[in-house]
A = this chain, B = another copy of it.
Amino acid sequence: MRVGIVGYGNLGKSVEQLVKLQPDMELSAIFSRRSKLDTDTRVLPVAEFGQYKDEIDVAILCLGSATDIPEQAPEFAKYVPTVDTYDNHRDIPRHRKAMDEVAREHNTVSIVSTGWDPGMFSLNRAMAEAILPNAQQHTFWGPGLSQGHSDAVRRIEGVAKGVQYTIPAPDALDRARRGETEGLDGKSAHKRVVYIVPEDGADTAAIEHTIRTMPDYFVGYEVEVNFIDDATFVREHSGMPHGGHVITTGGVGENHQLVEYTLELSSNPDFTGAVAVAYARAAARLAEDGKSGAFTVLEVPPYLLSPVALDDLIARDV
Protein backbone atom coordinates (compact mmCIF):
# COMPACT_ATOMS: atom_id res chain seq x y z
CA MET A 1 0.00 0.00 0.00
CA ARG A 2 1.74 3.15 -1.23
CA VAL A 3 0.96 6.22 0.86
CA GLY A 4 1.22 9.88 -0.05
CA ILE A 5 1.25 12.57 2.64
CA VAL A 6 -0.14 16.00 1.80
CA GLY A 7 1.15 18.71 4.15
CA TYR A 8 4.08 18.58 6.53
CA GLY A 9 3.15 20.31 9.78
CA ASN A 10 2.93 18.53 13.16
CA LEU A 11 0.36 16.07 11.83
CA GLY A 12 2.26 15.33 8.60
CA LYS A 13 5.46 14.67 10.56
CA SER A 14 3.64 12.28 12.90
CA VAL A 15 2.04 10.48 9.99
CA GLU A 16 5.42 10.10 8.26
CA GLN A 17 6.83 8.27 11.31
CA LEU A 18 3.70 6.16 11.72
CA VAL A 19 3.50 5.04 8.09
CA LYS A 20 7.11 3.79 8.33
CA LEU A 21 6.03 1.50 11.20
CA GLN A 22 3.22 -0.19 9.25
CA PRO A 23 4.00 -3.69 7.94
CA ASP A 24 1.84 -3.21 4.85
CA MET A 25 2.60 0.39 3.87
CA GLU A 26 5.36 2.22 2.11
CA LEU A 27 5.77 5.96 1.94
CA SER A 28 5.64 7.18 -1.65
CA ALA A 29 6.05 10.93 -1.23
CA ILE A 30 5.30 14.00 0.80
CA PHE A 31 3.50 16.72 -1.13
CA SER A 32 4.20 20.24 0.05
CA ARG A 33 4.21 23.82 -1.15
CA ARG A 34 7.77 24.03 0.17
CA SER A 35 10.46 22.34 -1.94
CA LYS A 36 12.87 21.82 0.96
CA LEU A 37 11.75 19.79 3.95
CA ASP A 38 13.86 18.23 6.68
CA THR A 39 13.12 14.62 5.72
CA ASP A 40 14.59 11.65 3.84
CA THR A 41 11.25 11.05 2.13
CA ARG A 42 10.76 12.18 -1.46
CA VAL A 43 9.23 15.68 -1.50
CA LEU A 44 7.06 16.69 -4.44
CA PRO A 45 5.23 19.92 -5.27
CA VAL A 46 1.66 19.75 -4.10
CA ALA A 47 0.56 21.46 -7.32
CA GLU A 48 1.72 18.39 -9.26
CA PHE A 49 -0.18 15.89 -7.08
CA GLY A 50 -2.34 14.61 -9.94
CA GLN A 51 0.67 13.58 -11.98
CA TYR A 52 1.68 11.06 -9.35
CA LYS A 53 -1.69 9.38 -8.89
CA ASP A 54 -0.45 6.04 -10.25
CA GLU A 55 2.23 5.92 -7.53
CA ILE A 56 -0.19 6.37 -4.65
CA ASP A 57 -2.83 4.01 -3.26
CA VAL A 58 -4.04 6.41 -0.59
CA ALA A 59 -3.30 10.02 0.37
CA ILE A 60 -3.39 11.23 3.96
CA LEU A 61 -4.37 14.90 3.94
CA CYS A 62 -2.42 16.46 6.83
CA LEU A 63 -3.87 19.91 6.28
CA GLY A 64 -5.48 22.44 8.60
CA SER A 65 -9.22 22.35 9.20
CA ALA A 66 -9.66 26.13 9.21
CA THR A 67 -9.34 26.71 5.46
CA ASP A 68 -7.07 24.11 3.81
CA ILE A 69 -9.32 21.05 4.03
CA PRO A 70 -12.55 22.76 2.92
CA GLU A 71 -10.77 24.44 0.01
CA GLN A 72 -8.28 21.81 -1.12
CA ALA A 73 -9.43 18.33 -0.09
CA PRO A 74 -11.87 17.76 -3.00
CA GLU A 75 -9.05 18.37 -5.49
CA PHE A 76 -6.96 15.47 -4.11
CA ALA A 77 -10.00 13.19 -4.02
CA LYS A 78 -10.19 13.39 -7.81
CA TYR A 79 -7.11 11.23 -8.13
CA VAL A 80 -6.73 8.74 -5.27
CA PRO A 81 -8.48 7.53 -2.11
CA THR A 82 -8.04 10.07 0.68
CA VAL A 83 -8.27 10.32 4.44
CA ASP A 84 -8.53 13.57 6.39
CA THR A 85 -8.85 14.71 9.99
CA TYR A 86 -11.29 17.56 9.38
CA ASP A 87 -12.40 18.57 12.87
CA ASN A 88 -14.97 21.32 12.40
CA HIS A 89 -17.87 19.29 13.83
CA ARG A 90 -20.69 21.50 12.59
CA ASP A 91 -19.37 21.55 9.05
CA ILE A 92 -18.78 17.80 8.68
CA PRO A 93 -22.08 17.12 6.84
CA ARG A 94 -21.16 19.72 4.21
CA HIS A 95 -17.58 18.45 3.90
CA ARG A 96 -18.73 14.84 3.64
CA LYS A 97 -21.16 15.78 0.87
CA ALA A 98 -18.50 17.70 -1.06
CA MET A 99 -16.06 14.78 -0.81
CA ASP A 100 -18.78 12.27 -1.63
CA GLU A 101 -19.60 14.01 -4.90
CA VAL A 102 -15.98 14.14 -6.05
CA ALA A 103 -15.20 10.61 -4.90
CA ARG A 104 -18.24 9.13 -6.66
CA GLU A 105 -17.51 11.04 -9.83
CA HIS A 106 -13.93 9.80 -9.92
CA ASN A 107 -14.66 6.35 -8.51
CA THR A 108 -12.50 6.75 -5.40
CA VAL A 109 -13.07 6.63 -1.65
CA SER A 110 -12.65 9.45 0.86
CA ILE A 111 -12.81 8.83 4.59
CA VAL A 112 -13.52 12.13 6.31
CA SER A 113 -13.01 13.47 9.83
CA THR A 114 -10.93 10.67 11.32
CA GLY A 115 -8.85 11.42 14.42
CA TRP A 116 -10.23 11.28 17.93
CA ASP A 117 -12.91 13.94 18.27
CA PRO A 118 -14.44 13.79 15.76
CA GLY A 119 -13.35 10.23 15.08
CA MET A 120 -12.90 7.62 17.79
CA PHE A 121 -15.06 9.61 20.22
CA SER A 122 -17.82 9.90 17.59
CA LEU A 123 -17.71 6.14 17.09
CA ASN A 124 -17.91 5.43 20.80
CA ARG A 125 -20.70 7.96 21.33
CA ALA A 126 -22.83 6.44 18.56
CA MET A 127 -22.21 2.82 19.58
CA ALA A 128 -22.67 3.23 23.35
CA GLU A 129 -25.86 5.21 22.82
CA ALA A 130 -27.19 2.62 20.38
CA ILE A 131 -26.52 -0.20 22.84
CA LEU A 132 -27.50 1.15 26.27
CA PRO A 133 -31.21 1.57 26.97
CA ASN A 134 -32.17 4.94 28.48
CA ALA A 135 -28.68 6.20 27.66
CA GLN A 136 -27.19 9.30 29.22
CA GLN A 137 -23.95 10.44 27.70
CA HIS A 138 -21.24 12.97 28.46
CA THR A 139 -17.95 13.74 26.77
CA PHE A 140 -15.09 15.15 28.82
CA TRP A 141 -11.98 16.62 27.25
CA GLY A 142 -8.54 16.63 28.81
CA PRO A 143 -6.31 16.76 30.64
CA GLY A 144 -5.08 18.41 27.50
CA LEU A 145 -3.69 21.38 25.72
CA SER A 146 -6.38 23.45 24.03
CA GLN A 147 -4.98 25.10 20.91
CA GLY A 148 -7.78 27.65 20.58
CA HIS A 149 -7.60 28.77 24.22
CA SER A 150 -3.81 28.88 24.15
CA ASP A 151 -3.96 31.11 21.07
CA ALA A 152 -6.45 33.35 22.88
CA VAL A 153 -4.24 33.91 25.95
CA ARG A 154 -1.18 34.48 23.77
CA ARG A 155 -2.91 37.40 22.09
CA ILE A 156 -3.20 39.27 25.41
CA GLU A 157 -0.88 42.25 25.84
CA GLY A 158 2.12 41.44 28.04
CA VAL A 159 2.02 37.69 27.42
CA ALA A 160 5.29 36.28 26.04
CA LYS A 161 4.24 32.63 26.09
CA GLY A 162 1.07 30.93 27.20
CA VAL A 163 -0.72 27.60 27.24
CA GLN A 164 -4.14 26.53 28.42
CA TYR A 165 -5.01 23.06 29.65
CA THR A 166 -8.56 21.80 29.85
CA ILE A 167 -9.08 19.42 32.76
CA PRO A 168 -12.23 17.44 33.56
CA ALA A 169 -13.58 18.16 37.04
CA PRO A 170 -13.17 14.93 39.05
CA ASP A 171 -16.58 15.18 40.71
CA ALA A 172 -18.21 15.76 37.31
CA LEU A 173 -16.55 12.58 35.99
CA ASP A 174 -17.89 10.64 38.97
CA ARG A 175 -21.37 12.09 38.53
CA ALA A 176 -21.38 11.11 34.86
CA ARG A 177 -20.28 7.57 35.79
CA ARG A 178 -23.16 7.29 38.25
CA GLY A 179 -25.59 8.66 35.66
CA GLU A 180 -26.32 11.73 37.82
CA THR A 181 -25.95 14.20 35.03
CA GLU A 182 -28.71 16.69 35.76
CA GLY A 183 -27.32 20.20 35.38
CA LEU A 184 -23.97 18.88 34.19
CA ASP A 185 -22.72 20.93 31.28
CA GLY A 186 -19.40 21.70 29.60
CA LYS A 187 -18.68 24.60 31.94
CA SER A 188 -19.29 22.80 35.22
CA ALA A 189 -17.56 19.67 33.97
CA HIS A 190 -14.24 21.25 33.02
CA LYS A 191 -11.61 23.41 34.67
CA ARG A 192 -9.27 25.67 32.68
CA VAL A 193 -5.64 25.94 33.83
CA VAL A 194 -3.40 28.58 32.28
CA TYR A 195 0.40 28.93 32.39
CA ILE A 196 1.79 32.31 31.33
CA VAL A 197 5.32 33.60 30.82
CA PRO A 198 4.84 37.38 31.13
CA GLU A 199 6.94 39.88 29.21
CA ASP A 200 9.38 41.89 31.31
CA GLY A 201 7.50 44.45 33.36
CA ALA A 202 4.08 43.20 32.29
CA ASP A 203 1.07 43.81 34.53
CA THR A 204 0.27 40.27 35.62
CA ALA A 205 -2.87 41.32 37.49
CA ALA A 206 -4.21 42.87 34.27
CA ILE A 207 -3.35 39.73 32.29
CA GLU A 208 -5.16 37.54 34.79
CA HIS A 209 -8.19 39.85 34.76
CA THR A 210 -8.30 39.78 30.95
CA ILE A 211 -8.23 35.98 30.97
CA ARG A 212 -10.91 35.55 33.64
CA THR A 213 -13.28 37.98 31.92
CA MET A 214 -12.84 36.66 28.38
CA PRO A 215 -16.32 35.72 27.17
CA ASP A 216 -16.96 32.23 25.70
CA TYR A 217 -13.39 31.15 26.43
CA PHE A 218 -13.15 31.54 30.23
CA VAL A 219 -16.24 33.19 31.76
CA GLY A 220 -18.31 30.64 33.66
CA TYR A 221 -15.47 28.16 34.08
CA GLU A 222 -13.34 27.46 37.11
CA VAL A 223 -10.09 29.12 36.00
CA GLU A 224 -6.57 28.85 37.41
CA VAL A 225 -3.88 31.24 36.17
CA ASN A 226 -0.20 30.55 36.88
CA PHE A 227 2.73 32.81 36.03
CA ILE A 228 5.99 30.95 35.42
CA ASP A 229 9.46 31.66 34.04
CA ASP A 230 10.60 30.79 30.55
CA ALA A 231 12.79 27.85 31.57
CA THR A 232 9.87 26.17 33.37
CA PHE A 233 7.65 26.77 30.37
CA VAL A 234 10.12 25.18 27.96
CA ARG A 235 10.69 22.21 30.29
CA GLU A 236 7.12 21.45 31.28
CA HIS A 237 4.80 22.93 28.68
CA SER A 238 6.25 22.14 25.26
CA GLY A 239 4.27 18.95 24.63
CA MET A 240 0.84 18.54 23.13
CA PRO A 241 -0.95 16.18 25.53
CA HIS A 242 -4.66 15.60 25.24
CA GLY A 243 -7.36 13.00 25.75
CA GLY A 244 -10.69 12.62 27.44
CA HIS A 245 -13.58 10.37 28.24
CA VAL A 246 -16.83 9.38 26.60
CA ILE A 247 -19.04 8.21 29.47
CA THR A 248 -22.38 6.56 28.76
CA THR A 249 -24.69 5.10 31.38
CA GLY A 250 -28.00 3.37 31.05
CA GLY A 251 -29.95 0.32 32.02
CA VAL A 252 -33.39 -1.11 32.58
CA GLY A 253 -35.03 -0.76 35.97
CA GLU A 254 -32.52 -0.83 38.81
CA ASN A 255 -29.67 -2.02 36.64
CA HIS A 256 -26.86 0.42 36.03
CA GLN A 257 -24.52 -0.14 33.12
CA LEU A 258 -21.47 2.02 32.41
CA VAL A 259 -19.52 2.19 29.15
CA GLU A 260 -16.45 4.42 29.28
CA TYR A 261 -13.93 5.11 26.54
CA THR A 262 -10.79 6.89 27.70
CA LEU A 263 -7.86 8.38 25.83
CA GLU A 264 -4.68 9.68 27.53
CA LEU A 265 -2.40 11.00 24.84
CA SER A 266 1.02 12.46 25.46
CA SER A 267 0.97 13.66 21.85
CA ASN A 268 -2.28 14.81 20.30
CA PRO A 269 -0.95 14.92 16.68
CA ASP A 270 0.62 11.47 17.05
CA PHE A 271 -2.70 9.91 18.01
CA THR A 272 -4.69 11.87 15.44
CA GLY A 273 -2.12 10.71 12.89
CA ALA A 274 -2.32 7.10 14.09
CA VAL A 275 -6.09 7.06 13.59
CA ALA A 276 -5.71 8.63 10.14
CA VAL A 277 -3.11 6.02 9.13
CA ALA A 278 -5.40 3.15 10.20
CA TYR A 279 -8.30 4.66 8.24
CA ALA A 280 -5.99 5.20 5.26
CA ARG A 281 -5.63 1.41 5.19
CA ALA A 282 -9.42 1.14 5.22
CA ALA A 283 -9.82 3.73 2.44
CA ALA A 284 -7.42 1.89 0.14
CA ARG A 285 -9.18 -1.42 0.85
CA LEU A 286 -12.66 -0.01 0.28
CA ALA A 287 -11.50 1.48 -3.03
CA GLU A 288 -9.85 -1.81 -4.03
CA ASP A 289 -13.15 -3.50 -3.22
CA GLY A 290 -14.89 -1.27 -5.77
CA LYS A 291 -16.57 1.11 -3.35
CA SER A 292 -16.79 4.82 -4.05
CA GLY A 293 -17.91 7.93 -2.20
CA ALA A 294 -17.23 9.53 1.18
CA PHE A 295 -17.34 7.59 4.44
CA THR A 296 -17.22 8.65 8.07
CA VAL A 297 -15.75 6.42 10.78
CA LEU A 298 -19.32 5.31 11.53
CA GLU A 299 -19.56 3.64 8.14
CA VAL A 300 -16.30 1.71 7.98
CA PRO A 301 -16.23 -1.98 9.01
CA PRO A 302 -13.67 -1.95 11.86
CA TYR A 303 -11.52 -4.88 10.66
CA LEU A 304 -10.44 -2.79 7.68
CA LEU A 305 -8.26 -0.72 10.03
CA SER A 306 -6.00 -3.62 10.90
CA PRO A 307 -3.03 -5.00 8.95
CA VAL A 308 -3.97 -8.42 10.37
CA ALA A 309 -6.19 -10.52 8.11
CA LEU A 310 -9.83 -10.82 9.24
CA ASP A 311 -9.67 -14.59 9.78
CA ASP A 312 -6.58 -14.17 11.96
CA LEU A 313 -8.17 -11.33 13.95
CA ILE A 314 -11.12 -13.59 14.72
CA ALA A 315 -9.07 -16.71 15.44
CA ARG A 316 -6.70 -15.04 17.88
CA ASP A 317 -9.36 -13.10 19.83
CA VAL A 318 -9.34 -15.64 22.65
CB distance from A195 to the nearest CB of B (A): 21
CB distance from A161 to the nearest CB of B (A): 22
A105 to B317 alpha-carbon distance, docked (Å): 27
Does A184 interact with chain B (Cβ within 8 Å)?
no
Could you say which residues of chain B place their CB within 8 Å of the CB of A51?
Answer: none
CB distance from A250 to the nearest CB of B (A): 8
CB distance from A137 to the nearest CB of B (A): 11
Count the A residues whose beta carbon is within 8 Å of the partner chain — how many? Answer: 68
Task: Say yes or no: A258 contacts B252, CB within 8 Å.
Answer: no
Given contacts A21-B133, A262-B259, A318-B90, is CB(A303)–CB(B310) below 8 Å?
Answer: no
Task: Say yes or no: B317 contacts A122, CB within 8 Å.
Answer: yes
Does A228 interact with chain B (Cβ within 8 Å)?
no
Pick the contact of A310: B120, B123, B298, B315 (CB < 8 A): B298
Does A131 interact with chain B (Cβ within 8 Å)?
yes
A259 to B263 alpha-carbon distance, docked (Å): 5
Task: Say yes or no: B314 contacts A92, CB within 8 Å.
Answer: yes
Task: Say yes or no: A256 contacts B266, CB within 8 Å.
Answer: yes
A257 to B298 alpha-carbon distance, docked (Å): 23
Could you say which residues of chain B place their CB within 8 Å of the CB of A275?
Answer: 131
A42 to B248 alpha-carbon distance, docked (Å): 33
Task: Say yes or no: B301 contacts A300, CB within 8 Å.
Answer: yes
Q: Which residues of chain A in 96-123 are interfacial with respect to chain B, using CB atoms and an 8 Å cutoff?
A: 96, 118, 120, 122-123
Could you say which residues of chain B place their CB within 8 Å of the CB of A303?
Answer: 126, 298-299
Does A130 interact with chain B (Cβ within 8 Å)?
yes
Does A265 interact with chain B (Cβ within 8 Å)?
yes
Q: Which residues of chain A in 290-318 are interfacial with respect to chain B, using CB atoms and an 8 Å cutoff?
A: 296-303, 305-308, 310-311, 313-315, 317-318
Task: Say yes or no: A270 contacts B299, CB within 8 Å.
Answer: no
CB distance from A269 to the nearest CB of B (A): 10
Nearest first, the 3 A-B pairs at minimum CB distance are: A130-B306, A298-B303, A130-B305
A-B contact pairs, 13 of them (CB 8 A): A21-B134, A96-B314, A123-B302, A127-B305, A130-B278, A130-B306, A256-B266, A257-B264, A257-B267, A259-B262, A260-B262, A299-B303, A300-B301
